[in-house]
Structure 1
Amino acid sequence: MDTNQRGIEAMQKGNFEEAATIFSEAIEANPNNPISYINFGNLLSAVNELDKALKFYEKAIAIDSNAATAYYGAGNVYFNLENFDEAKKMYEKALQNGLDEGDLHFMLGMSLFNLGQNRLALPYFQRSVELNKKDSDARFQYGLCLAQLELIDDAVKQFDAVIQLDEDHADAYYNLGVAFAFKENTDKAIDMLEKALDIQPNHMLAGHALKIMNGQSN
């Protein structure tokens, strides 16, 4: 097992100090290997040392400008710092350099969504779902994005799929309720909102929406 792999295993076990020591040794042994800097950046990100993590990703990129996972790591740092524009740029560079994973497409979609660029976010959420059909978070965000664009029937399909994956997803039921209200299917809307509240009794949005719907149905 090589040094970096030992460090990753230590990190996965939560032995962060041991992992830091191992990654430091890997960098000292081979200072021109970008992987060691990326791994150290991932470790620092995991313990919320975001500014330090970014420096390690930048060092990896300086060594290898095609290091896709370094751009992805940097994108995650910027996203966590709520700098969505820089996050988007980093994720795009990761994509350009050959990283084609569901999580990357999801995070790029989330960055665009947070920037209010829903139409641009949509294909990335769609690709994320295609690459990981069992990712309920990605599917839920895809549904939200479709709903924001008033593609209601398509959104309903995604929220239904979320419930198939996670039957206790209160937010999916709430959004189904809103979607059916939009389609003027009051009975179905009330049913979905009640299910949301059964799962999460303190779901304020569902409770408020249900009061409105019950008022309309009386």
Structure 2
Amino acid sequence: MDKNTQGIIYMQEGKFEEAATLFNEVIEQNPIDAVGYINFGNLLMHMKDFEHAERFFNRAIELDGNAATAYYGLGNLYFEQSLYQPAQQNFQKAMELGLEESDVYYMLGITLQNQEQFKLSLPYLLRAAELAPGDDEVLFLYGLSLAQANHLKDAKSTFENVIGMNPEHSDAHYNLGIISIYDENIDEALAHFNEALRIQPEHILAANGKKNIQALLKENDR
């Protein structure tokens, strides 16, 4: 196992000092290889040392202008600091350079979501879901963007697919409850809110939704 691979394993295990030692050795042994700088940048980002992480990613790009994962790293770094415009630019650059993974499409999608560009986020979140067909959270975020873009029919079927993958997804039930209200199906909405609360008793939004429906039903009974 090479030092980069072992360093990544250490980083995933939270052994940051051990990972730093290995990545530093990689850079010393081959100072013109961008990979060591990218890995060290990812490590520094995990440690919330954004200033130094940015330097390492930029150094990687200086060495290899086609290093897509360096741009992806910068995108994550800016996203973590809520700097969504530069995050978006770097995720797009990573894609232009051929990075074809679910994560980069997902991150660009939620970056656009956070800028309230819901319709623009849709193709990226859809592609992320296609590339990670077993990931219910990616599919849920796609459904959320559909709902935010007012594509409620498609959002409903997407949330139903999420529940098919993970019946215990409380937020999918909550959002189905909201869509049921728009469809004027109060009984179905209440059922979804109850299910969300069964899964997550402290789900405040579901509790408020249930409370409002119960108040409406009480008002109608008068």
CA–CA separation in structure 2 for the residues paired with 1:9 and 1:121: 32
The secondary structure found in structure 2 opposite 1:195 is helix
Deviations 1:50-82 (A, max 9, x none): 221111111101111110000001100100000
User: What code does the residue aligned with 2:176 have?
Assistant: L
RMSD: 1.2
The alpha-carbon deviation at position 19 of structure 1 amounts to: 1.3
Cross-structure match for 1:11: 11
| Gap runs ≥5 in structure 2 | none
CA–CA separation in structure 2 for the residues paired with 1:107 and 1:210: 32
The alpha-carbon deviation at position 18 of structure 1 amounts to: 1.5
CA–CA separation in structure 2 for the residues paired with 1:126 and 1:111: 14
CA–CA separation in structure 2 for the residues paired with 1:13 and 1:200: 29
CA–CA separation in structure 2 for the residues paired with 1:12 and 1:192: 37
TM-score, normalising length: structure 1: 0.96
% identical aligned pairs: 45
Cross-structure match for 1:41: 41
CA–CA separation in structure 2 for the residues paired with 1:200 and 1:13: 29
The alpha-carbon deviation at position 198 of structure 1 amounts to: 1.1
2:82 aligned with 1:82:
yes
CA–CA separation in structure 2 for the residues paired with 1:189 and 1:128: 29
Quick check: 100-109 or 6-15, which moved more?
6-15
| Gap runs ≥5 in structure 1 | none
The secondary structure found in structure 2 opposite 1:119 is helix
CA–CA separation in structure 1 for the residues paired with 2:144 and 2:217: 26
CA–CA separation in structure 2 for the residues paired with 1:117 and 1:81: 19
TM-score, normalising length: structure 2: 0.94
The secondary structure found in structure 1 opposite 2:99 is coil
2:166 aligned with 1:166:
yes
CA–CA separation in structure 1 for the residues paired with 2:185 and 2:202: 24
Moved over 3 A (4+): none
Cross-structure match for 1:25: 25
CA–CA separation in structure 2 for the residues paired with 1:72 and 1:165: 29
